[in-house]
Each structure stands twice: as C-alpha cells, then as structure tokens.
Amino acid sequence: MFLLIIEAEIRGPPRGRVRNPSGRPRAPAPVPNESERIAKEERRPTRIKGYWNQLCAVVEVWRESDGYDLVRWQRVSFLDAAAEAAYQRPVAEAGLRKAE
C-alpha cells in the first residue's frame, strides 16, 4: 500500500479519464489558487519522505532475514544533500559530531 501511495505522490495527480463506476456525475473539485498549488507542491517531498520512512519501518521486521537489503531500506532524514549540509555545518562547528 505504501508503494502505491509513494508512486501516486511522485507521479502527481491522475491525468486523463478516471473511472466512475457509480455512473453519477462527479461533484466538481475546488480549483486551488496559485499559492495553494505552490504550497502543496512544496510539501510533496516531505510527504514522500514520510511515506518512505513508514515503508522502511514496516519492512524492518525482516532485517535479520536472508536477502534483506540494508543499503536499500534506509530511513531518510533530509530531503536533499543541501539540507543535510546545512544541518551538518553548525553541528561540526559546535564540535558536537566529527565532520566528515
């Protein structure tokens, strides 16, 4: 299920015709304004990160099993390398953790 959610987040909203098995006309969805659309797009990477981390937590029960891929199933702390570097700089400057 998490894979479907993650895939839907990555691909974005469905395009084209969507099946309507009830046959009733659909109520029109409210059209977001530009600022709402931009805000939603900015939150998307955070949602994907959260879903990925939940998926990693689910598969962690198989951590000691043969074939479990330790490299693949790593939880994500930062959205990108720039965010991680921005976090690591003050940590290293304060001497809280050894800089790499």
The per-residue pLDDT for range 48-81, each reduced to its tens digit, is 899 999 999 999 999 999 999 999 999 999 998 9
Residue 49 lies in a domain: yes
Instruction: State both tokens at 98.
Output: 């050894």
Q: C-alpha angle with apex 91: 85 to 92, nearest 5 degrees?
A: 85
Q: Print the domain residue range for 100.
A: 1-10+37-100
Residue 58 lies in a domain: yes
Q: Tokens 């290293």, residue? A: 92
Check residue 77 and give its pLDDT. Answer: 92
Q: Over the chain, what is the mean pLDDT?
A: 83
Q: Tokens 């998926």, residue? A: 55
Residue 17 lies in a domain: no
Please tell me the pTM assigned to this model. 0.62
Residue 15 lies in a domain: no
Q: Is the pLDDT of residue 14 over 70?
A: no
Check residue 92 and give its pLDDT. Answer: 86
Instruction: State both tokens at 35.
Output: 């600022």
Residue 27 lies in a domain: no
Residue 60 lies in a domain: yes
Residue 41 lies in a domain: yes
Residue 18 lies in a domain: no
Q: Is the pLDDT of residue 2 over 70?
A: no
Q: Is the pLDDT of residue 99 over 50?
A: no
